[in-house]
Amino acid sequence: MQPILNVYSLPDVVMPEKVAGDTAVVIDVLRASTTMICALAAGAHEVIPCREVADALVAAKSFAPDQRVLGGERGGARIEGFDLGNSPEEYTPQRVAGKTVVFTTTNGTRAILRVRSAREVLIAGFVNVSAMVQRLLDCRRIHILCAGTGGRMSEDDVLLAGLLVERLQRQARSSWRKNGQAATAQNFWRQSLASTPGSAVQPESQMLIEWLRASRGARNLLRLGLDRDIQAAAQIDRFACVPRFDPASHCIRLA
């Protein structure tokens, strides 16, 4: 049977039963998925995604205080009483190595929980795009879910979805059956490349920083003076790891 490759530009447009038993990929480039990848690459033992702040506070109680880090944001800012916010660079080996990160964000962690009926949920960013493509090449039924921003589509996520579709199409042995949003995301990626003067000679991540700055997901970050987080999210292939959420254990670890 032809393998399927679907993209959903927002969590609300995917029905949980549609992904049941399949592989889901969650994207929140600015910033939740980038930050979770950084945390695990920095040696965090696991990340526990929580929907609400209250859920995170309850989950944190299961761990000794020196064994866990509470992280996340509301309105882009660190939550009162939490150890860390949602900036990728905060999640250093000194802060998180060997620890459980209990994590809640406005859109990203909710997107993960939206597709927990999947067999597995992989966490994608530009920072691990090549490793993600390699991991997905053997999958037969893939659903890529963009977290969006405040219930609206965000270009940072759709760009990465488009790049994943582009690379999977180029590298897979057989052709994918794509939904309409997969084709739209792929076109968005291609048009962004085509409409950037000198894109063939510019370092890829410099070009990406400009595109990410122009996205809906960047607006609040720029207001908060967090341009460095946008730059961190644009570091293509900084890591070769693939975080995997296991719905049975409810935690994200490196696959």
Distance CA 107, CA 148 (A): 7
Q: Would you count residue 104 as binding ligand MLT (CB under 6 A)?
A: no
Least CB distance to ligand MLT at residue 203 (A): 24
Instruction: Please name the residue ranges forming H helices in the chain.
Output: 16-19, 32-41, 53-60, 93-96, 108-114, 129-136, 155-171, 180-194, 204-213, 216-223, 227-233
If binding is defined by CB under 6 A, does position 76 make contact with ligand MLT?
A: yes
- Does residue 107 touch ligand MLT according to CB under 6 A? yes
- Tell whether residue 11 is a contact of ligand MLT (CB under 6 A): no
Instruction: Name the one residue in this structure whose structure tokens are 């660190």.
Output: 78
Binding segment (CB under 6 A) for ligand MLT, from list 48-56, 104-112, 170-178, 243-251: 104-112
Strand, coil or helix: 175: coil
Choose, by CB under 6 A, the member of 108, 125, 162, 243 that binds ligand MLT.
108
Considering the complex, state which of residue 74 and residue 119 has its C-beta at the smaller distance from ligand MLT.
Answer: 74
Give CA–CA dist 132/168, Å, rounded.
10
Q: Give 90 or 167: the residue with its C-beta nearer to ligand MLT.
A: 90
> Which C-beta is closer to ligand MLT: that of 31 or that of 135?
31
Binding to ligand MLT in span 122-181, by CB under 6 A: 147
- Show the binding pattern over residues 30-49: x = contacts ligand MLT (CB under 6 A), - = does not: xxx-----------------
Residue 205: closest CA among 164, 235, 230:
235
Local structure of residue 152 (DSSP, 8 states): B
Nearest to 176 by CA among 215, 151, 141, 212: 141
In angstroms, the CA 126 to CA 39 distance is 15
| Pairing state between β 177-178 and 4-8 | parallel
114 near ligand MLT, rule: CB under 6 A: no
- C-beta separation of 89 from 37 below 8 A: no
Q: How far is the CB of 147 from ligand MLT (least distance, A)?
A: 6
Contact segment (CB under 6 A) with ligand MLT among 24-32, 58-66, 114-122, 198-206 equals 24-32
Shortest distance (Å) from residue 182 CB to ligand MLT:
22
As measured in angstroms, the least distance from the Cβ of 193 to ligand MLT is 25
Q: Considering the rule CB under 6 A, would residue 105 count as an interface residue with ligand MLT? A: yes
Nearest to 29 by CA among 91, 108, 92, 84: 108
**Considering beta carbons, is residue 193 or 224 the nearer one to ligand MLT?**
224
Q: Which residues bind ligand MLT (CB under 6 A)?
A: 28, 30-32, 73, 76, 86, 105-108, 147, 221
